[in-house]
Amino acid sequence: MEYQSHNSGLNLNSILPTVAHVAVKAGDFVKKELLSFHHDQVKIKDFNSLVSYVDIEAEKIIVSGLRNIIPNADFLTEENTIALSGESTYTWVIDPLDGTTNFIHSLPFFGVSIALKEKEDFVLGVVYDVMHDVLFKAARSYGATANGKEIFVSETDNLENSVLATGFPYNAFDHMEKYLNLFRALFQNTRGIRRFGSAALDLCYVANGSFGGFFEYGLNPWDVGAGIVIVREAGGQVTDFSGSNNMISDKTILATNGKIHNVLLASIRRHFELNM
């Protein structure tokens, strides 16, 4: 399904700088806390799903900063610091620290992700790459930028010249054999596959042309919402593993520069035994 742009009563571009400011403020807090963070401050939400006071406090900073931008907007947040009512046209979808495991182990690849959803469509996205100080922004029909400079997906039209990104599911192992077979096939037919541990950032680096594509399953709305907007506004294509627009309900995502989308999609369908 193609990405549809339609008129909204909200001027997305006018609120983008404020949302970006909120993301950077939360990111600065995360970076400051990294200096004194200790493993004893980690809590386990679920198997291999970790959280710390840093995630929670960063989320509170974001919610506080966004609350007055759109009156009565709803919130869907990873750490549940505010309840979701499901009654508003607009919903902020927030991951205060995408790449928590990286943060805990002092690996400098994590980010703050803020998306805005209008009904069922993601229409605005901001991702702040905290340790590299790169701010990605996009709003529907306004393009995508990194630190204020317009970005575009790569022009590479074949897998052999592409570097891909992926993620390994940390607690959803039901498709692991299929996934590993897919990984093997792609590893042998690309310039390499990277796994950095933050889907939000992976998507942004598809948008700026570094990666030709990104694929993963088992993700949540806050992991991918902002990145979906950024990739599409940079000229890329985003679908689920069946080629449809059901990334959130299906919990699968394939984001590419568009030129290699069909060949990647065919490989995914083949290895996951999906209907062609």
pLDDT of residue 4: 39
Question: For 80-89, 178-187, 226-235, 242-251, which range has the lowest pLDDT when averaged over its residues?
Answer: 80-89
Contact in structure between 5 and 140 (CB atoms under 8 Å):
yes
For 206-256, the DSSP string reads: HHTTS-SEEEEES--HHHHHHHHHHHHHTT-EEE-TTSSS-HHHHTEEEEE
**Distant-in-sequence, close-in-space partners of 41: CB < 8 Å, separation ≥ 6:** 52, 53, 54
Q: Mean pLDDT over residues 133-148, rounded?
A: 98
pLDDT of residue 178: 87
pLDDT(19) > 60: yes
Q: Mean pLDDT over residues 82-108, rounded?
A: 91
Cα–Cα distance for residue pair 237/248, rounded to 1 Å: 15
What's the mean per-residue pLDDT of the chain? 90
Q: Count other C-beta atoms under 10 Å from residue 142's C-beta.
A: 16
**Distant-in-sequence, close-in-space partners of 166: CB < 8 Å, separation ≥ 6:** 183, 193, 194, 195, 202, 214, 215, 216
Q: What are the structure tokens assigned to 231, written together?
A: 């990739």
**Residue (of 97, 106, 72) closest to 86 by Cα position:** 72
Could you tell me what percent of the chain has a pLDDT over 90?
73
**37 falls in which pLDDT band (50, 70, 90)?**
confident
pLDDT of residue 3: 36
**Distant-in-sequence, close-in-space partners of 269: CB < 8 Å, separation ≥ 6:** 241, 242, 243, 275, 276
pLDDT(247) > 80: yes
Cα torsion for 93, 94, 98, 100, to the nearest 10°? -130
In degrees, to the nearest 5, what angle opens at C-alpha 65 toward C-alphas 21 and 137? 35
Domains assigned to the chain: 12-150 (3.30.540.10), 159-271 (3.40.190.80)
Please report which residue ranges of the chain form alpha helices under DSSP H. 12-34, 53-66, 100-104, 176-187, 199-207, 221-233, 247-250, 261-271
Q: Mean pLDDT over residues 4-20, rounded?
A: 80
Contact in structure between 152 and 143 (CB atoms under 8 Å):
no
